[in-house]
Amino acid sequence: MKTEQIKFENNRLELAVKRPTHFVTIFLVSAATLCIIAPLIIFANLMFQSQEGFRIETMTVVLSLIPIIFGIYLLRIFIWNFYGKEIYSFENGKLVYWSDFKFFKTEKKDFKIKELNFSTEHSGFENERKSVLITESRKLKHKSKVELPEKEANQLIELLNQKLNQNKQ
């Protein structure tokens, strides 16, 4: 199965995030850049304009770090919305899951195939007809972050259930 957001080949499922509009992309990059660079410019300006020697105050550092951390968070949101994908891999009687942000990856989660169940859940506004993939076992429940069209999500569930039945035998 291969669509714009779903790629299922060689025991590996990739769910890609649908890319945002140009406006959202430009806004996130601009806001992240401003939040990271502005405190550094202000800090450098204070350092060069000081008359009697520069003293680093704790509050100055703390107040400078707040927008920098927020900028890094916005940058992470941008990277997820532009490059993000979730990867599910069937390996040796288990399903391994992780998120890929292109520049970094999340920790891998394992699900035993014998205990595994797939389903979908409605997501977003009613008229959008979007769903997310839910992977459940006795111990863990994972809800996908990638929204898929309902029709494609239902086809994916059928395909995954067929794959599970093959691996259980």
Q: What would the pLDDT profile of 75-116 be if each residue is shown by its tens digit?
A: 999 998 888 999 988 887 788 888 888 888 888 888 777 777
Q: What is the pTM of this model?
A: 0.76
| pLDDT tens, position by position, 125-134 | 877 888 888 8
Q: How many residues in total does the chain contain?
A: 169
Q: Give the phi and the psi of residue 144 in degrees, each rounded to 5.
A: -65, 150
Q: What would the two tokens of residue 67 be? A: 């927008």
Q: Please report, as a single letter, which amino acid is at residue 148.
A: L
The whole-angstrom separation of Cα 15 and Cα 82 is: 13
Label the pairing between strands 130-136 and 109-112.
unpaired
